[in-house]
Amino acid sequence: MPLIFSPLSEDVLEGPFKPLPRTAFIMQHSGRKVAPIEAEMDRIVCDCFKRLGHPVKKAARSVGTKDFLEKIIQIIRGCGFGVAIFSENTPAPTLANIFFEIGLCNILGKPVILVKTAKAKAPSDFTRTEWVTYRGRSGRKLKSDLESSIGSIVELAQYYEALGDLAMEAEQVDVELAFERYKQAVLISDSKSAQAKIQNLLEHIKNKGESAELLRASKVRLGKSISEFLKLLP
């Protein structure tokens, strides 16, 4: 697996994080000057996730670290996917922050649902990206489209679990890739079968010894990552 570097320290992004299965990270404008239409979109989004059994996580409501960006990175690592909410009223600095966070989600392998008003313009790099549009009124169409988008993401869990199986069944077994795929399945849907397969990975690398498949350094690092993930699962 390729290494991912932290935008804070430029060191490899690794180490423990708190897994939050089925949880969506909400990216939005916060504070006192939130436009009424964005507040309504947020209410509809959160109600929809709650009804479908998905908790939501907002950086502004989370405490426990001195650096705000580090907090966001750690939350994104633990969540299954992200949701970005914006409108034509979203301030430019906030919009920049939202799309920076979307970029972090993409790098960390988290699917993202974009929720915007009909008048809001997405940046040019996202003109080919599908989004859910809020047109006011009762919000019934937004709820329906949002439920469909959430369902599509949950279905990805089975796909990621299948990719993990393929990595383990290949002629050249890729344990790291299998772990990443199984981990995605657990974080998106709280898949118990994928969680059991992660536990089996831990036994697999313990029994492999020093083989070409797992050199000592990568074996120790991977074993630590898997153990931390399993111990920190709620």
Helices (H), the chain: 36-51, 68-78, 92-107, 140-169, 175-189, 192-208, 216-232
> What's residue 212's pLDDT?
47
pLDDT tens by residue, the chain, 234 residues:
556 777 766 776 777 889 999 999 999 998 778 999 999 999 999 999 999 999 999 987 766 656 788 889 999 999 999 999 999 999 999 999 999 999 999 888 999 999 999 899 877 777 656 789 898 777 888 999 999 999 999 999 999 999 999 999 988 888 889 999 999 999 999 999 999 999 999 888 877 654 545 555 567 778 888 898 999 998
Separation between Cα atoms, residue 45 and residue 41, nearest integer Å: 6
Question: Distance between CA 63 and CA 42 in Å, rounded?
Answer: 21
Q: What are phi and psi of 43, to 5 degrees?
A: -65, -45
Burial of 126 (0-12, 13-18, 19+ CB in 10 A): middle
First to last CA, the chain: 26
Q: For residue 31, what pLDDT is reported?
A: 79
Domain ranges of the chain: 24-153, 154-232
Q: SS3 for 223? A: helix
Domain 24-153 has CATH 3.40.50.10140: yes
With tokens 């080919």, the residue in question is 128
Measure the CA angle with vertex 103, ends 100 and 220; round to 5°.
Answer: 120
Other CB atoms within 10 A of residue 157 CB? 24
**Burial grade of 83 (CB within 10 A; 0-12, 13-18, 19 or more):** buried
Per-residue tokens: 13:
């992004």
What is the C-alpha separation between 191 and 19, in angstroms, rounded? 13
